[in-house]
Structure 1
């Protein structure tokens, strides 16, 4: 009995440690990638599109790195990885039809979302941008109601109201008290496109295995590297983005891209092997981390209205995590597709 109790306690402590690591890891990499991207911008470098293309290309490493790491894991969900690397789903990711109809559209949405978000950082603090982006769950729920006919729940309607209320306050503060109007517009556009690509990804890959998702993201990196470079070249050639290649802060951009890659890996791993709540809570933890960095590094002052907005968005975000008693018709958080429980959800990516 004592051995059994010790085993249960040990497993509980181990799972708790994994959950804490996931939450802090996602929050830290999320905040770190934003802060590094902010540091990269200067009068001699405004290549946001170059950075988006460069960082997305790093997704090529997703499949080989995740397969290499799977060899050192003993969990069942990772052991299945080797079996599914040669599955029909993984092989289908390499066919031309799948590449054109699924990989390319998602790559375009991915780049558009990241471009709008990173461009908004030129006019907003990382705290404001991350808070506005956190309202993404509200838009996902609205889309799920209209697209997937999810039932309307009082708690989530309140969560949507709180998120939009917090966004309205930030909109007022960032457009009235300093010229951050375009930053708010760009960040809002990023949030909306993120909601679309999350729902699109969920609809496309809801029942996918870890290997399928890893292959999918690697194909996104290949698509970005092969097809999106003319867009970056045209932006530089026409003067839309001005920079000299020798003066590009490649070290900072590489660190930011590495943070982004690690963030994506943690999100995918967490959605398949741990709880979806870890991903959502990790995204929320990124806000106070950005607050601390903005105060210490940039001496940003936070008024009581801004604190109220952040608390309102945080409360709405947490309310959106409350599970419903009947999960048979859940769409965003624990939805079923064709009677099967998905391994990833629409709220897992960001």
Structure 2
């Protein structure tokens, strides 16, 4: 049995509009020191970056540098002690710079894939009015998760396992018996339903309102994750995240007010909020019921969701077709290029969100999601008749601010206090140094002053 901590894993995120997995444990490629072989982040809030290792090495190196050995023997000893710490420091600095550089690339890829899939969904639905069929079609591509992971495993890993061996190893995630029929219906099917609802409500909302409002409102899902994790998982209470949740709710109300509470826009906003709520419920339930997963287990789980989609969801688009709810005259008129383009971008986005933390920080991945809002705004400005009045702009800014507040680590206030204390100590030392210097100058001037006494 896996032990479940009372925390929501981070980034899992969000998939198809943003359903990612929660905390993923396993490979130690993220950090070699501390618990960081964990592929996860504190999901609801944006993800917790990996912890820094102890500073004792760095402080030790600094102390040694301040000491100047007086003899060759001491100098040799100094170099032997200081050398490893200096090399370790530079290796860590290079590693951090590399992760930040990869982070910039991942941010751009996440932003472009997320905003691109949203815009393609808008174009597709204008010619193919079948949001549930589009959801079903794109979810079928989840089958590719495990094969893509296995190819990456073969390239990176020194220990080679056959696909069957790797599959059996990852199946342990579902229990000692593996992926049985019972495990499929109890551990995978509920999340398949939530996945489908999240995507369907998101796509249906795109039919009602513009993509800028949809992408901005969906960012509220992190606030919903925090509220659910605080209530259900007994996650740590943080005042700043309560403020972020209030910002998210205020942004939703202002977004509704921006269009004058028209029924069309109210329905669209309600659909997006419902999609964000389903995404949050997906993440919290994953953490509560399944706990954590390695990269391979996460890939297999997402592929199993694709299997669920084919076996149990296929009948729904068929029923909607014959009842003329989602009907198209002929298969030749289906915009296959748009459908495939949307599915590819969505698959790319899900891969980056779930597995991008292997090469960069989860917080940077979350930034890529929120940056898609201004990208969609620019596209909507030139392609639609959206009106960016002051209320809509303020609502988007408030939601974005709440999103970034949720990215703060749990102990952010401790870092602020330490920083302020350090600045205060440095200022005091500088003032004491100035006073000492001034006193020394006064004494020197008194001793050098000529005497006129007779």
Q: By the TM > 0.5 criterion, same fold?
A: yes
The answer for the alignment partner of 1:277 in structure 2 is 363
Q: How does 1:59-70 map to 2 (within 5 A)?
A: 59-70=142-153
**C-alpha separation in 2, matches of 1:79 and 1:320:** 40
The answer for the alignment partner of 1:330 in structure 2 is none
Aligned partner of 1:162 among 233, 247, 253: 247
Q: CA deviation at 1:94?
A: 2.4
Indicate how the Cα distance of structure 1 residues 6 and 281 shifts in structure 2: closer, same or farther if over 3 A, else same: same
Determine if the alignment matches structure 1 residue 294 to structure 2 residue 380: yes
Note if contact 1:53-1:111 (Cα within 8 Å) is conserved in structure 2: yes
The answer for the alignment partner of 1:319 in structure 2 is 405
Indicate how the Cα distance of structure 1 residues 117 and 80 shifts in structure 2: closer, same or farther if over 3 A, else same: farther
Indicate how the Cα distance of structure 1 residues 55 and 188 shifts in structure 2: closer, same or farther if over 3 A, else same: same
Q: CA deviation at 1:91?
A: 6.9
Q: CA deviation at 1:60?
A: 0.4
Aligned partner of 1:37 among 107, 112, 121: 121
Quick check: 205-214 or 293-302, which moved more?
293-302
The answer for the alignment partner of 1:27 in structure 2 is 111
Q: CA deviation at 1:132?
A: 0.7
Indicate how the Cα distance of structure 1 residues 91 and 140 shifts in structure 2: closer, same or farther if over 3 A, else same: closer
**C-alpha separation in 1, matches of 2:88 and 2:295:** 31
Note if contact 1:174-1:184 (Cα within 8 Å) is conserved in structure 2: no
Q: How does 1:224-235 map to 2 (within 5 A)?
A: 224-235=309-320
The answer for the alignment partner of 1:18 in structure 2 is 102
Unaligned stretches of 5+ in structure 2?
1-82, 413-454
Which SS does the other structure have where 2:296 is aligned? helix
Q: CA deviation at 1:297?
A: 2.4
Indicate how the Cα distance of structure 1 residues 10 and 148 shifts in structure 2: closer, same or farther if over 3 A, else same: closer
Determine if the alignment matches structure 1 residue 212 to structure 2 residue 266: no
Determine if the alignment matches structure 1 residue 182 to structure 2 residue 228: no
Q: CA deviation at 1:54?
A: 0.3
| Count, aligned residues | 324
TM-score, normalised via structure 2 length = 0.66
Aligned partner of 2:306 among 213, 216, 221: 221
Aligned partner of 2:344 among 239, 249, 258: 258
Determine if the alignment matches structure 1 residue 46 to structure 2 residue 132: no
**C-alpha separation in 2, matches of 1:71 and 1:299:** 49
Indicate how the Cα distance of structure 1 residues 137 and 79 shifts in structure 2: closer, same or farther if over 3 A, else same: farther
Note if contact 2:233-2:288 (Cα within 8 Å) is conserved in structure 1: no
Could you report, residue by residue, the CA deviation over 1:163-183 in whole angstroms, capped at 9, with x for unpaired residues?
Answer: 111111001123536831211
**C-alpha separation in 2, matches of 1:249 and 1:72:** 36
Q: Which has the larger radius of gyration?
A: 2
Q: How does 1:87-236 map to 2 (within 5 A)?
A: 87=169, 89-90=172-173, 92=175, 94-176=179-261, 179-236=264-321
Q: CA deviation at 1:264?
A: 0.8
Unaligned stretches of 5+ in structure 1?
327-350
Determine if the alignment matches structure 1 residue 303 to structure 2 residue 389: yes
Q: CA deviation at 1:8?
A: 4.9
Which SS does the other structure have where 2:371 is aligned? helix
Determine if the alignment matches structure 1 residue 238 to structure 2 residue 323: yes
Could you report, residue by residue, the CA deviation over 1:202-257 in whole angstroms, capped at 9, with x for unpaired residues?
Answer: 23443210000100010110110121111010011101112132211111011100
Indicate how the Cα distance of structure 1 residues 81 and 195 shifts in structure 2: closer, same or farther if over 3 A, else same: farther
Q: CA deviation at 1:5?
A: 7.2
Could you report, residue by residue, the CA deviation over 1:31-64 in whole angstroms, capped at 9, with x for unpaired residues?
Answer: 111100100123x521111100000000001100
How big is the alpha-carbon RMSD for the aligned residues of Structure 1 and Structure 2? 2.7
Determine if the alignment matches structure 1 residue 267 to structure 2 residue 353: yes
**C-alpha separation in 2, matches of 1:62 and 1:211:** 9
Indicate how the Cα distance of structure 1 residues 287 and 52 shifts in structure 2: closer, same or farther if over 3 A, else same: same
Indicate how the Cα distance of structure 1 residues 117 and 67 shifts in structure 2: closer, same or farther if over 3 A, else same: same
Which SS does the other structure have where 1:302 is aligned? coil
Indicate how the Cα distance of structure 1 residues 81 and 22 shifts in structure 2: closer, same or farther if over 3 A, else same: farther
Note if contact 1:84-1:212 (Cα within 8 Å) is conserved in structure 2: no
Q: CA deviation at 1:13?
A: 2.9
TM-score, normalised via structure 1 length = 0.85
